Amino acid sequence: MDFFEKYKNLKEKYEEKKIKPKVVVVGRSNVGKSTFVRLITGRKDVKVGKKPGVTLKINEYDMGEYILVDMPGFGYMAGLPKKIQEKIKDEIVHYIENHADEIAAAVQIIDAKAFFEIVERWEERGEIPIDLEMFDFITDLKISPILVANKMDKIKKEEWDEVLDGICEYLKCQPPWHQWKFIVPAILKEGKGIEEIKKKIIERVRLFKKLRNIE
């Protein structure tokens, strides 16, 4: 294979990757983001840990129809100064803003059990809760959200609807929660909810391609 043929092959590979829609994965630290990425990619080298802040850089995975972009966790990160935490959050925001036209969907993972306590704590400090700020940011950019309410095993089954309706209200979406097709209750450590998330991602990726005439 001569230089020009090699260059042509590399260029074709680059162009193929370039036109693939992106699906970003966002969430506070320790909500199950790394577990989700490991499940959906099938890669065992994705680090999963109990300490917040396992993922500290932006990682991309070629999923065939799209590129999965795993963002660092935002908010509290063990052992990192607040200045660094803010820098990481800024990097996430800048990446999403700069690639908004390429993003078919944003998978935002929350800890359904801790959600209300965290939101109330931020509001008591007179600050916008970071989970709500991220959701508003995504939807303001007209990016299709998929909200994964993880750790549902920590909530009694009979209380699921009440909890998910409460999350809806904070997101300024009228309950009942099940009328909103972007919400997926999940127990990611057991793999529960992953197939529904995969289905929603593919639906959004294919719609994105259709609207932009991407083959």
Tens of pLDDT, residue by residue over 89-123, are 889 999 999 999 999 999 999 999 999 999 999 89
pLDDT, residue 128, reads: 87
Residue 2 lies inside a defined structural domain of this protein: no
Residue 8 counted as domain residue: no
Q: What is the CA radius of gyration of the chain?
A: 18
Average pLDDT, integer, range 29-37: 92
Give the pLDDT score at 43. 74
Using an 8 Å Cβ cutoff, are 92 and 56 in contact? no
Which residue has 């309410």 as its token pair?
149
What CATH number is attached to the domain comprising 24?
A: 3.40.50.300
Q: Helix (H, G, I), strand (E, B), or coil: what is residue 166?
A: helix
Token look-up 């289905």 returns: 199
Q: Categorize the per-residue pLDDT at 9 as very low, low, confident or very high, splitting at 50, 70 and 90.
A: low
Which pLDDT band, with edges at 50, 70 and 90, does 22 fall under? very high
Which DSSP letter does residue 50 get? S
Say yes or no to pLDDT of 53 above 50: no
Residue 15 counted as domain residue? no
